[in-house]
Copies of this chain bind each other. A is one copy, B any other.
Amino acid sequence: MLVGKVIDSIVSTRKNERLVGNKFLIVEPLPCMGENRDRLVAIDNVGAGIGEIVLVAVGSAARAGCGHPDAPIDAAIVGIVDNGERL
């Protein structure tokens, strides 16, 4: 999993129907975790908000682990990091 900060959200009115009902958040990987990852869009599985430090699962884990086995989802916020600001 990667650790990042929620910096924004995006809206998509015209989308695959299996994505309906999901919130799309833009996550910026924390610089302290390295420089090789780009920002990504993840669905929100835990009620995360802008500014929070979160744990993001990518790949098939995002579907299998969040109750969306048949949706075109490749990234999901699966935890809010406690005391994330210390990282």
Q: What copy number does this chain have within its complex?
A: 5
- CB proximity of A31 to chain B, nearest CB, Å: 10
Type the 1/0 row for A47-71, where 1 means its CB is closer than 8 Å to any CB of B: 1000000010111111111100111
Q: A1-B24, A38-B29, A72-B65 are in contact. Are A46 and B79 (CB under 8 A)?
A: no
B residues in contact with A69, CB < 8 Å? 64
Once the chains bind, are A61 and B63 in contact (CB under 8 Å)?
Answer: yes
Q: A10-B55, A18-B65, A60-B59 are in contact. Are A40 and B45 (CB under 8 A)?
A: no
Type the 1/0 row for A12-24, where 1 means its CB is closer than 8 Å to any CB of B: 1111101100001
A→B interface (CB under 8 Å): 1-3, 10-16, 18-19, 24, 26, 29, 32-42, 45-47, 55, 57-66, 69-76, 78-83, 87
